[in-house]
Amino acid sequence: MPDPGEGLTEGEVVSWQVSVGDTVKINDVLCEVETAKSIVELPSPFAGTVAKLWAEPGETVAVGEPLVTIDDGSDDQREDEPEFLVGHVTQDSGRRRRRRSGAAVSAQRAPEKTSTDVPAPAPEKKADVEPVVEQQSSGIQQPARQDPPRMDRTEHVLAKPPARRLAADLGIDLSSVTGTGPQGAVTRSDVKAAAEAGQGGARDAGVGAGDAEFAALSVTARRLLGGAPTEPDGHTRKVPVHGVRKVTAKAMKDSLDTKALVTAFLTCDVTPTMELVDRLRADRRFKGLRVSPLTVWCKAVCLAMGRTPVVNARWDDATEQIVFRDQINLGIAAATPRGLMVPVVRNAQDMTMLELAEEITRIVAIAKEGKLQPADYTDGTFSITNVGVFGLDAGTPVVNRTESAILVLGAIARRPWVVGTGDDERVVPRWVTTMSLGFDHRLIDGEEGSTFLHDVAEILSDPASAMLY
């Protein structure tokens, strides 16, 4: 098991894409592994025949433990050498392995470490090999972001990994599902429809996959509801805390233990913003993009921070100093099948409205598919969360432990609002919302927090006022 980085020490095997006896080439996907932050596909660093799978789907494997054995046909391996791990080889073995014919290997190797394991050499680009990029913080290689999403044929069924994973969760046989996607590919919607129709049977005893209500639940919810009760009373069950839930729990507790958190609220008329959103959606340049009030909020936040930069700063506990940052990296909280994730829009201060819409569309789509990599969710400087999508008016948020403030967007609804002054004063229906700003009072005073929140509201109430910032 390679090191996924970010201090993570283990990964759970979600599914195998190969079986014992299969022939694999360099960069062929061996399996999907779920860490606490994302699901990644592990490529093969060697060409050969799969000799042994060391873990079943659902099993957790620690970093450095055997995951798969690949027989490359070489006869120069000593009997006392440890077996090769995906993404790792021993230093001695790495130097002694001969090159496979037709499989060029990079001549540059990673620097030696004190550990007995070092990352395997990355293959050079070949015409018949999918381009890959390597995360600096891990030994895992991922498909290049600019390439289209990969679709695999599993037993002659064309389907993307998210669809295959959902089918496995629901116990659906992909070969029995009619695909409606491109080239007849099976989509997540097709799998859900099959589950609601009662195909495939249940994955866990006591829970019917044909139950429409069960099929509509998130993967996390299905895991919590799946299986038999584990307590003697027959009415309760204990579920181990791991993955995203474990990481989130620790982060929230650390934030509450170290920050002086307060929350400010403000209700404002955002009718002009809603009209702006309608115009953007009709603009051909925004066609196919995720255009919502959130796009305008992101722009407003960046502009308001110019007047109150401390909102984008952080408290350094080690030196007891306030660290001001030039970059605005917006964390966008997203509810995903794996739980709460916060993908980051980097350098948002330099983006136009169109660029913000493009990046939000891209990063949220990756989060929904559970494919976020460490570079996608680290180094955020300010977060935005939208509880309005759940019908809530406001909330008292917990600030990310590496940040100092978070903006909560409430539901946008038609409400009676007083407009005009004097004899022109009247009550009319307007689009109204409530925002709340949670911030660390150690470095952000009440005046600064209130000024920032008021500036955001002013821009949303009159987008033309953005010219003043």
- Strand bridging mode 29-34 / 426-440: unpaired
- Identify the CA nearest to 190 among candidates 158, 155, 226: 158
Amino acid at 419: V
According to DSSP, residue 171 is labeled T
Topology of the domain covering 152-225: Dihydrolipoamide Transferase (4.10.320)
Cα–Cα distance for residue pair 6/137, rounded to 1 Å: 7
- Given the residues 88, 156, 441, 454, select the one marked as catalytic: 441
pTM: 0.59
Q: What is the per-residue pLDDT for 266?
A: 97
**Could you tell me how many helices (H) and strands (E) the chain has, helices first?**
11, 24
User: For the stretch 380-418, what's the b/e string if a residue is b when 16 or more beta carbons lie within 10 angstroms of its beta carbon?
Assistant: bbbbbbbbbeeeebbbebbbbbbbbbbbbbbbbeeeebe
- Residue pair 464/271 in contact (Cβ under 8 Å)? The answer is no
Tokens representing 326 are 């030039």
Burial of residue 248, with CB atoms counted within 10 A of its CB: 0-12 exposed, 13-18 middle, 19 or more buried: middle
- Residue pair 387/394 in contact (Cβ under 8 Å)? The answer is yes
User: For the stretch 158-167, what's the b/e string if a residue is b when 16 or more beta carbons lie within 10 angstroms of its beta carbon?
Assistant: bbbbbbbbbb
- Residue pair 126/100 in contact (Cβ under 8 Å)? The answer is no
Question: Domain extents for the chain?
Answer: 10-141, 152-225, 244-468
- Identify the CA nearest to 164 among candidates 198, 137, 188, 135: 188
**How many residues are given for the chain?**
469
Average pLDDT by consecutive 10-residue portion of the chain (469 residues)? 70 87 89 76 88 87 88 62 44 38 37 43 39 36 40 57 72 80 78 68 39 51 52 71 77 90 96 96 92 94 96 92 95 81 93 94 86 83 94 92 94 95 94 97 96 97 91
Q: What is the per-residue pLDDT for 147?
A: 40
Annotated active-site residue 441? The verdict is yes
Q: What is the per-residue pLDDT for 463?
A: 94
Q: What is the per-residue pLDDT for 82?
A: 44
Q: What is the per-residue pLDDT for 231?
A: 65
> DSSP labels for 189-201?
HHHHHHHHTT-S-
Tokens representing 344 are 């980051």
Q: Position of tokens 């790495």?
A: 94
Tokens representing 42 are 């592990």
Cα–Cα distance for residue pair 148/134, rounded to 1 Å: 17
CATH node for 244-468: 3.30.559.10
Check if CATH label 2.40.50.100 holds for domain 10-141. Answer: yes
Cα–Cα distance for residue pair 176/178, rounded to 1 Å: 7
- Identify the CA nearest to 220 among candidates 335, 334, 333, 338: 338
According to DSSP, residue 186 is labeled B
Q: What is the per-residue pLDDT for 5?
A: 61
